[in-house]
Amino acid sequence: MADRPVSQQIDDIISKPGDWRGEMLAHLRTLIKEADPAVVEDVKWKKPSKPEGVPVWSHDGMICVADTLKRAVRLTFPKGAQLQDPQQLFNARLDSKSVRAIDVHEGDTIDAAALRALVLEAAGLNQSKAR
């Protein structure tokens, strides 16, 4: 799988659960790419317990990481504590000094505009640090 293009590896990760979680992950991926067309997709942290790895989106640094949990799809923003979240999408890892996450459960809808704003803000934060 490592020699396959990253986009296909992420497609495989999306199709693996075979339920609503894959559909939600695909939807989140679309929103991330819409928010920042210059975003770079990658797959990281392949290990025996998760040989397919996890999808990562970056732009001058990491923006967010997706993970499929038993009852949720989690989108983790490594610098989430530094982001404005007026729509209060962040609902996990709220006690962390740096990381914030969004857990999406079956039947939940995600505020697409608010997610796009978080992605853009995270990319902007990376770009300001890169200069």
For 69-87, write each residue's pLDDT tens digit: 999 999 999 999 999 999 9
Q: What is the pTM of this model?
A: 0.93
CATH number of 6-130: 3.90.1150.200
pLDDT at 11 over 90: yes
d(CA 27, CA 11): 12
DSSP per-residue letters across 53-113: -EEEEESSSEEEEEEE-SSEEEEEETTGGGS--TT----BSTT-SS-EEEEEETT----HH
d(CA 34, CA 85): 19
**pLDDT category of residue 130 using cuts at 50, 70 and 90:** low
Distant-in-sequence, close-in-space partners of 109: CB < 8 Å, separation ≥ 6: none
Q: First CA to last CA across the chain, in angstroms?
A: 35
Tens-place pLDDT, residues 101-125: 999 999 999 999 999 999 999 999 9
**Beta-bridge partner residues of 74:** 67, 103
Tens-place pLDDT, residues 59-71: 999 999 999 999 9
pLDDT at 49 over 90: no
Domains of the chain, by residue range, sit at 6-130
Candidates 7, 39, 41; CA nearest to 122 is: 39
